[in-house]
Structure 1
Amino acid sequence: MFSLLLQTKHKSWIYFSLLGICFITSPVLAKPNSLKEVTDANWEEILTGEWMIEFYAPWCPACQQLQPAWKEFADWGEDMGVNIAKVDVTEQPGLSGRFIITSLPTIYQ
């Protein structure tokens, strides 16, 4: 049926209509970002509930390799009843001191 529609004289209108439908529905299908960012301002939130927190630095090669898997893991956090978060130690040096981070990446449970 799709190939028949493209053979009509209104080919471009149908094409752009289909593209519009894809763009309109895409955000609805997208999963919200479930990876939380812990900062000096909101760190007390982690005192309640279950948390897994990754301490990382953007310049760290091991941290860079972990990021895609950590983001994917965060999507499963809600199903497991665990909050998944990350802390950029270059932007939050107070938190790295508070949690005594001595190597990167470090994951706290």
Structure 2
Amino acid sequence: MSPATDPAADRQVIHIHPAAPVKPAFGTPCNGCGVCCLSAPCPVGMLVSRRRSGACSALVWEADDSLYRCGMVRDPLSQLGWRDAPRGWSAWLGRRMRRWIAAGEGCDADVSVERPG
């Protein structure tokens, strides 16, 4: 079977925290499952992660809430290593990141997820 016709050629293994919520349907509200960012970084994530494939390095697991969040929305200055930046910059940049990545606009990971077992 050639790679073009092999269904396994389109598969990718991503490691999701066992307590993460199940991926919602495409277009429905985000629930913090992390599938989108674990499978590939968004354009902002590409800049922060310095990669075009694989998991985004800005993705943060929040154990208290059992979900993933974008570190560039939650704490962008920490993600960028800007520890000495003025305090207001974090909130300002976080709002810009939320808009740029369309956080809260709905699930944009048009992929199917199979959990092992």
Q: Which category describes the TM-score, using the shorter chain as reference length?
A: under 0.3
- Greater RCO structure (CA 8 Å; 6+ sep): 1
- Max radius of gyration: which structure? 1
Relative to its length, the structure with more helix (as a share) is 1
What TM-score do the two structures reach when normalised by structure 2? 0.24
What TM-score do the two structures reach when normalised by structure 1? 0.25
